[in-house]
Chain A
Amino acid sequence: MIKGKHILVVEDEPLVAMLLEDMLTDMGAHVAGPECGFEAAMARAEADSLDAAVLDVNLSGQKSFAVADILRKRGIPYAFATGYGRSGLEPGHENVPVLVKPYTAADVEQTLTELLG
């Protein structure tokens, strides 16, 4: 199901981004990004051809909710990846799946399967 899908990865911590990239690559997905900056993430969310996205909430102090809004408008499913857990989410995003750091490849696979299903 995940194989061949284009997944946007937005994560400001390079090592965590690398980990998620490896996990997704191992699952056979095509990774868009990883992007660690807000502007680059906005650009990809608007322009790229995407099947789903995993968004880090905090991008060097800037929240990624605007990126999520664009994805929702485009009908692209997404999940948040955050160390804050669900309590860090802004109103309007409460029902979005959350990957709580640190997460395993199995967590990622399950979440994406739900998103894509």
Chain B
Amino acid sequence: MTASNNDIAGLPAGQAADLVAGLGWDSCTLGPFSAWPAALQTAVRMMLASPFPMFIAWGADMPYLYNDACIPIVADKHPMAFGRPFREVWPEAWDELSPWLHQAMQGKASFHENMEVVLERNGAPASGWFTFAYSPLYDDAGQPGGVLSVAMEGTASVLAGKWQRVRQALDDHIRDLADPSEIGMAAASLLGEHLGCQDCFFAEIEQCEEYASVASSWTAGDGERRSGRHSIADLKGGGGLVVPLLKGGVAHVLVCGSRMSVGDWSDDDTAISREIGERAWAAIGKARAEEAVREAARELRLLTDALPVLIAHVDDDRCYRFNNRAYEDWFGHPREDIPGKHLAEVLGEEAYAELRPTIDRALAGERISIEQTVPFRSGGMRHVITEYVPRLNAAGTVIGYYSLVQDISERKRAEEHRLLLINELNHRVRNTLAVVQSLASQSFRPDMPLDVGRKAFEGRLRTLGAAHNLLTSENWDGATLQSVAREALAACADPARFNLSGPEIRLPPQTAVSFALALHELCTNALKYGALSVAGGLVSMEWSTSASSGPDSRLRFQWRELGGPPVTVPERRGFGSRLLETGLAAELRGQVTMDFSPDGLVCTIDAPLPAGK
């Protein structure tokens, strides 16, 4: 105990004791200490010596006397409050406390646990929680003359408890929420109800730092919710609570609230707003990040599913982590069957054993591009090109690989087909050259003048060319007998002198060429010696098929010359006869007969119906 700087014997040192010593008639209805009843002096001495918060109110006006331990409760009203009537010191609490004070003045004590009393301290009304007892003090005559209050303020722990409940409620609300706006709403409504707000909302500050956009808004009852952008200056000047949340020292969100009655906001209001706001925004940030991850995964799936490449991500335990639709389709597994499965389960033990050396290399960190022929599940083999891309973590350790498989079977087939076509083209050209060589050999005979041979060769070459043209126009599928005949005849005689009749019959390509060349020979012979060598001569070509269709069906064709000069059997068998009777007959596997009857040449073909397409 330090030495007292007052001169009243027996008063302990301290601020309150000094205030007691300084009291006089001008400042207190009790007058100076020396004028006080002995009982009051004793009680005050005892109170000043106590380290427990106490006050004494004595007499009709109940002047307010307290000890040093009580100063934190009196707060900014100290020291002006000392010695002044209780009612003047605490007008805001008078209605609530005066009944208990009066009761004690009449000799009856009372005890109050955690009573909430609204006090105006530090410039704003705020709830305080007190556990206290009011006891009567007796005067020198043994009658109740005053009140002794022994009080303990529990505001801090009560508030801490209330905060804890709000925090807990927030955590409970948002634990299962994944939607950022639902988290915001839960926090705004909890905070709004806790603060007794009319409305409460979060606004995100835009980059320009002049405007903020309302993210989540709550209102008591069914009032209109806040929305849209607001100038930050307007929000701050609106009389409501505006608490900025900082990130990296810069405000990024404003927690805003407003009450019906315009009033001050306590430090506690600000603190709990910041606390709830920060908790909510931590959860919102996490939810947004998770949503971004889900969105990225959705995008990845959309993209990879659209690709005609088999994509899989396999981890270093050789289990699937990801695969796209093409991968499922290839293996015929539903999506849910692949992730988490071991390679051997999806590929099959045999295929896995075969691929294992390559997979080992990929998991050793090697990037591999490999072309393989692999069996396909529905049979047959497929050509594939596989890229193995090792997946590394930030430390550079291999933690799996991506495999990208491209089915190039179609391309391979097309390549093979192209080679086949080139080969086939080469073959056909060489064959055609041999045919031309034969035509030349048949045309330029040693016993024939050169110009006659050349004319014959040109006519035959032109017919060969026309037949090829016809076949090319039909994509080398073959040609009809009708069109082959027309082409061959048009090249050397007036079509009006021919009468063609017969059903549509398709000839295979090589037969069509032979037929065209044979008809050409008949035509040139008719022009030189037969019906077409005189005016009025005609040629009739008629053909039919036997009634029965199928492999036994036969083609009957007849060339008949009419109105020509009398026919004599030629002395020598020419190229035309040979081509018809031997060549065409062998090709058709039938009989060809040349009847040199005096009325006109008749050439008859009887053969199995050619199998044209």
- Please indicate whether A and B come from the same complex rather than being unrelated chains: yes
Q: Taking beta carbons and an 8 Å cutoff, which residues of A are in contact with B?
A: 12-19, 22, 34-37, 58, 60, 82-85, 87-88, 100-103
Chain A residues with CB under 8 Å of B431's CB are 13, 16, 83, 101
Q: A34-B586, A84-B426, A84-B427 are in contact. Are A18 and B442 (CB under 8 A)?
A: yes
Contact of A37 among B427, B441, B589 (CB under 8 A): B589
Q: A83-B427, A84-B427, A101-B433 are contacts. A18–B438 as well, Cβ < 8 Å?
A: yes
Cβ contacts under 8 Å, A84 to chain B: 423, 426-427
Q: Is the CB of A36 within 8 A of B427?
A: no
A-facing residues in B480-518 (Cβ within 8 Å): 508, 510, 514, 517
B92 within 8 A of A: no
Say yes or no: B586 contacts A102, CB within 8 Å.
no
Q: Which 4 A-B pairs have the closest CB atoms?
A: A14-B583, A83-B430, A19-B438, A83-B427
Chain A residues with CB under 8 A of B589: 37
Q: Does the CB pair B430–A14 fall under 8 Å?
A: no
Contact partner of A15 among B423, B427, B438, CB < 8 A? B438
The reply to whether B429 and A83 contact each other, CB–CB distance below 8 Å, is yes
Q: How far is the CA of A102 from the CA of B435 in the complex (A)?
A: 8
11 intermolecular pairs with C-beta atoms under 8 Å apart: A14-B514, A14-B582, A17-B583, A18-B578, A34-B586, A37-B589, A83-B426, A83-B430, A101-B433, A101-B434, A102-B430
The contact of B438 among A16, A37, A87, by CB within 8 Å, is: A16
Q: A37-B589, A60-B510, A83-B434 are in contact. Are A15 and B429 (CB under 8 A)?
A: no
With the chains together, A90 CA to B227 CA distance in Å?
84
Partner of A35, one of B426, B430, B441, B586: B586
A81–B34 Cα distance when bound, in Å, is 150
Assess the B587–A36 pair: CB atoms within 8 A: yes
Counting chain A CB atoms within 10 Å of each CB, the highest count among B423, B426, B579, B583 belongs to B583
Classify the interface of chain B: helix, strand, loop or mixed.
Answer: helix
Contacts of A34 in B (CB 8 A): 586
**Inter-chain contacts of A83 with B (CB < 8 A):** 426-431, 434
16 other contacts beyond A14-B514, A19-B438, A19-B442, with CB at 8 A cut-off? A13-B434, A14-B582, A16-B435, A17-B586, A18-B579, A18-B583, A19-B437, A58-B427, A83-B427, A83-B429, A84-B426, A88-B423, A88-B427, A100-B430, A101-B431, A102-B430
- Inter-subunit contact B578/A13 (CB<8 Å): no
State the Cβ distance, B122 to closest chain A Cβ, in Å.
105
Complex CA distance for A37 and B586, rounded to whole angstroms: 8
CA distance A37 to B584 in the complex (A): 12
Quote the shortest CB–CB distance from B540 to chain A (angstroms): 25
Cβ-defined contact, A18 with B427, below 8 A: no
The interface residues of chain A lying within 8 Å CB-to-CB of B508 are: 60
Q: Is the Cβ of B582 less than 8 Å from the Cβ of A18?
A: yes
- For window 426-455 of B, CB contacts with A under 8 Å fall at 426-431, 433-439, 441-442
Binding site secondary structure of chain A? mixed
CB atoms of A12 and B510 under 8 A apart: yes
Compute how far the CA of A6 lies from the CA of B583 in the bound complex, rounded to whole angstroms. 20
Minimum CB–CB distance for A64 against chain B, Å: 14
Contacts of B510 in A (CB 8 A): 12-13, 60
Distance in Å: Cβ of A17 to nearest Cβ of chain B: 7
A-side contacts of B514, CB under 8 Å: 14-15
- Return the contact of A36 from the options B423, B429, B586 (Cβ within 8 A): B586
Docked pose: A85 CA to B422 CA in angstroms: 13
A38 to B334, CA, bound (A): 53
CA distance A84 to B423 in the complex (A): 7
